Chains A and B, each alone.
Chain A
């Protein structure tokens, strides 16, 4: 989309394209307003806009105060994304906000995509998802039934934890085609098989360096050596549950730091991304209000004590996410 030979490389934020060098420290896998689809209709859940804004603004200011520059809301187009709110938050706090298109896993989709009003009710194929997501970049992100706003900066999808379903595969392929069509990167959260799920996106001929694989600090993936293999294929390795230290399914921060150092030692320092999957405001699900600044203020200093160089730390926090998010 962007001709990088003649113009400055840019990233799509909710306030428009921003030169990639201005992003600063980036958190690539976070959630601002995260709403389980349907929760907005629930009798016992309040959606107080002013209160949501205040909570998010406070967290973004904290992130900025700790040196954060850019937050990527990687929850896609159907999990509470509120583009108007994010625009106001970005203006108010000075933090760049990159919003995402995409959906998944299958369970999170509306019936429109799964049981359409046709006979038989055939679920959407990859090409239709590609078209829906592509327009969110080329024409702008939707405010449902009202308007389109700025361009999405990322296309994100997630596979079912028990294993990728047929519709998950359509979503992944649709996301890959969106990236090819528009130049935005793809974020995938794998289901059961990190390399297999990555393979679906690569099969669409999307270059590996346009893909970030999330959840590679899951214990099962780490034990199977998936982080190293993903890096070897050239995709970005997101260790994106930093701060989650008491969940048996995930590495502890100490183990995460060791994994970061192992990957650096193996020559993959340019493939590592760190994030927390923190939730700014959660609706219809438990709160997870780890500060967005946790990676930069707590984890990275700890990793440095373990031996991470300043240069590698900067690469992981600034250069790598910039390279991922820059429109190609």
Chain B
């Protein structure tokens, strides 16, 4: 948000998070409104704690029409010392408003490239990652595919990586990336650990094709007092993750909590923050025998390798 930095400076990276996410249109419903005072009050302590815990970089995966607010992110970054990387792109076709939903691949690619190379709106800040995703229903829609193709072209043109919301229906996605000549290690197939879709996500096949896997909904657990519908038992998620970490794929996985600092158009999940990474996830990994070098690889080296702009 505050300009390009060297990959060495990223530090420990939370690869898939949200300062605040809301479905497009939620801004019209006052039931979700909070004052700016409340927003900062909910958000700043979480980012400060992230920084104190040793967190270096927060990747915000909030799409263009989901309440992405660059000026706000800049102020948060400057005041907390956390690097914030914002994205261009869309969480899924069903979060792209009509102007973009009607647009051609070419227009969408130009829009993404502009946000990566020139800047987002009048903020002067450049997007560091491209968000794409599968619409509700679990099958890629025609619009989802148009967005994936545009994202692939923008990734090839700029060297910025792609981060996906959901990795189900991966075959058409990988076909598109291959057709556009994008190396698959530039794509993080996210939410492979999600409670609803994990069973039907071809995780091993994605790795075989050369993609990276995002275990990035850590903390959305059925053990929570009021779990969301995408929650999963903690043990199942950890076993799933360890199969890849300890099965020779530690260099292909990334992990995050997909938490909202201050949700914009939904209640959020009480008590779930980005700091789950430090408070639960990393201790759990240690308890399961994952060594420090591997933890460093997942949260620092893999993230730096993925986020580095490849020209």
A residues neighboring B (CB under 8 Å): 36-39, 41-44, 77-78, 107-119, 121, 132, 135, 139, 142, 144-145, 148, 284
Contacts and interface: CB of A to CB of B under 8 A. Distances in A.
B111 A42 contact: yes
Contacts of A109: 25
Contact of B26 (A107, A110, A121): A110
A145 to B, nearest CB: 5
A36 B107 CA distance: 16
A235 B121 CA distance: 44
Nearest to A40: B99
B75 to A, nearest CB: 16
B94 interface: yes
Contact of A43 (B26, B29, B115): B115
22 contacts: A36-B98, A36-B99, A38-B96, A38-B97, A38-B100, A38-B101, A41-B97, A42-B99, A42-B111, A77-B28, A78-B25, A111-B95, A112-B22, A112-B265, A113-B25, A115-B94, A116-B23, A117-B266, A139-B30, A142-B30, A145-B33, A284-B99
Contacts of A44: 110-111, 114
A43 B196 CA distance: 35
The 9 closest A-B pairs by CB, nearest first: A110-B25, A38-B97, A38-B99, A110-B24, A112-B25, A144-B27, A112-B23, A43-B114, A119-B229
Contacts of A144: 27-28
B99 A112 contact: no
Contact of B30 (A41, A108, A135): A135
Given A111-B94, A115-B94, A38 B114 contact: no
A111 B33 contact: no
Contacts of B229: 118-119
Contacts of B136: 115, 121
Given A117-B266, A119-B196, A132-B28, A38 B135 contact: no
Contacts of A118: 229
A113 B25 CA distance: 7
Contact of A117 (B23, B110, B111): B23
Contacts of B64: 38, 41
A284 B103 CA distance: 11
B245 interface: no
B65 interface: yes
Given A38-B96, A41-B121, A78-B25, A110 B30 contact: no
Contact of A37 (B24, B29, B111, B135): B24
Interface in B237-285: 264-266
A108 B98 contact: yes
A63 to B, nearest CB: 28
Contacts of B230: 119
A115 B144 CA distance: 15
Given A111-B94, A117-B23, A121-B136, A39 B99 contact: yes
A291 B39 CA distance: 44
Contacts of A107: 98, 101
